[in-house]
Structure 1
């Protein structure tokens, strides 16, 4: 080793702490407002599926219809995940042990409920769905479970690789892929400039996916949604830069602006249609870009939410239940709908369509919330704690 080698080593050693310093944009406490809006968005997905299930026009012009932007809610989920995971990875430096520890935490967070809800959906598919037929349900939607599922498809559903048993799990597959990539995203977006570059690069990928052929490797067009996660990281940098200006806003504005943005997001596709742009289907890059932009603005505002909102107990509780609401709601909705048909009969329900629609929406919502609370108490929270404990041992922090 020469003198120049020693000097170079010392120079790298001096530079390393600066490279591994926690970016100020990531150095944030638990974001209660972000946590809570995830729960509200999960309910929006439930309500959008209530409307999709019914073969008659009901509730679409009600307040429920204004909150039923299920596709936009998923886009928001991804942006939220990008922001929240970047905060959790704020000290990530690329080491093997910390990478494995992070992976363990994500697996313990995502898989236990995924497996449990797949079992619930399988039970519905085997025991209840064959007994239910109704002209009140949209055939293309309710008929999802008419298809015969092979053992291979059932096993793949339990692993989150396909959405046959529980259709909302397609987005969990995207979340799993993004979770694997997030450490790289975080390392590559530690400054505002680098976050912008990453987001723009993934935006190009999103638009390029429109020309890509269908492929198992590109299942659910997952690359099209990676821009959402990068945009979530970018939102942290924007929030830090705008913090003084946001703090100068009145409390009313800091509460009402997020509400307005959320309503714009939920109704964005209808607004775009009214403006002359027709939704292009799953992974439409233009629609996703609009939803990402609104979601980033919403996240920035929520990051600097008034303290009373940030520590709101109802928002905290709703956020805790959000993953449960999202994964449980689909088989629960179909179960409740099936029990309505078996209990009251198609003729009675058809004669009171509006009342049936309201009853279905209310009952499915309450049943989903109750099941989500039980899942959080007895499955999710214990498994999250177990994952954290194991990850700490892997990372050598215990």
Structure 2
């Protein structure tokens, strides 16, 4: 079942990720430990909460999709068709645009951001990871197109989604206990496992729906938003904050689903939502090009901000074309799956 408010929310989240990468071009905590200015602090910490909501929302939508398909392989084929074309396009833009252009930008321009990663050598596992959406081995997407790290996480969640659906149907909300324990045990071996409970939370919200009384929706939205933005309060980007942030994301989704905020139903929000996936995978290479062209005169941040309208235009073009070549190839691989 399509929920228009979720479509609008997806667009707002994608734009938040884009804005966070304006700061990420000059500041990444594990590269530049010094505190950024207020703008950098506030915008940098927008990215992770937006992605946390994406993960829970993806669990919600994909669980419903999985439940509709008659078999696991039909579901997997549909997920390949959904994820692979644009993810591959994003990888190609990283390989053919972001990396070559980043090599032309002087190293002193933004030494503390993501640009230095694009100048590092590529390894076989990076290429294999990009081509297989992570199934061929985890890859450092920072060396290719930084936002693409979530594509591998989405792939792992898609592989596990039939098991999540079974868990949600048989155990209900109790399914969170074994998944959280398993995630805690396996995360030291493979850290993306830490993120799987967020997808399960979305699946539970979809398959074991919770209905809140109308007067509780605004307080739940406020509590969820504050919990989601815990990084702004703590000034930390610790990976373990993903779990409380996912809880906040779940509360936000519950409230948004029943409140149907007019802002998320507006034309601009819906327009963004339709193009959110294309915007997510294409925006970073566009920003790198703008930094190369305008950075010497305007600085990295101003150049990246001026790139945002161009990012929207590129996303619109990709959405309009819908990557027909890749779509046709996907249909040949999985004929009969709509």
TM-score exceeds 0.5: yes
Which band: TM-score by shorter chain?
0.7 to 0.9
SS in 2 for 1:393: coil
Alpha-carbon spacing, 1:388–1:119, altered in 2? closer, same or farther (3 Å): closer
What is the alpha-carbon root mean square deviation over aligned residues? 3.4
* Equivalent residue in structure 1 for 2:193, among 215, 220, 223: 223
Structure-to-structure mapping, 1:160-171, within 5 angstroms: 160-161=133-134, 162=139, 163=141, 164-171=143-150
Q: In 1, Cα distance between the equivalents of 2:78 and 2:331?
A: 6
Matched with 1:42 is 14
Residues 36 and 319 in structure 1, CA contact (< 8 A), matched pair in contact too: yes
Is 2:204 the partner of 1:234? yes
SS in 1 for 2:38: coil
Unaligned residue ranges in structure 1 (runs of 5+): 1-28
Alpha-carbon spacing, 1:389–1:83, altered in 2? closer, same or farther (3 Å): farther
Residues 45 and 231 in structure 2, CA contact (< 8 A), matched pair in contact too: no
SS in 2 for 1:156: helix
Residues 99 and 119 in structure 2, CA contact (< 8 A), matched pair in contact too: no
Q: In 2, Cα distance between the equivalents of 1:155 and 1:198?
A: 33
* Equivalent residue in structure 1 for 2:234, among 251, 269, 272: 272
TM-score (norm 1): 0.71
Is 2:332 the partner of 1:362? no
Matched with 2:155 is 176
Alpha-carbon spacing, 1:308–1:83, altered in 2? closer, same or farther (3 Å): same
SS in 2 for 1:189: helix
SS in 1 for 2:174: helix
Alpha-carbon spacing, 1:118–1:104, altered in 2? closer, same or farther (3 Å): same
Q: In 1, Cα distance between the equivalents of 2:82 and 2:195?
A: 21
Q: In 2, Cα distance between the equivalents of 1:260 and 1:361?
A: 32
Larger Cα Rg: Structure 1 or Structure 2? 1
Q: In 1, Cα distance between the equivalents of 2:51 and 2:99?
A: 28
Unaligned residue ranges in structure 2 (runs of 5+): none
- The number of equivalent residue pairs is 327
Matched with 2:89 is 116
Residues 324 and 376 in structure 1, CA contact (< 8 A), matched pair in contact too: yes
Structure-to-structure mapping, 1:19-98, within 5 angstroms: 29-54=1-26, 61-62=38-39, 65=42, 68-92=45-69, 95=70, 98=71
Matched with 1:158 is 131
* Equivalent residue in structure 2 for 1:290, among 226, 244, 256: 244
TM-score (norm 2): 0.82
Shift of 1:289: 1.5
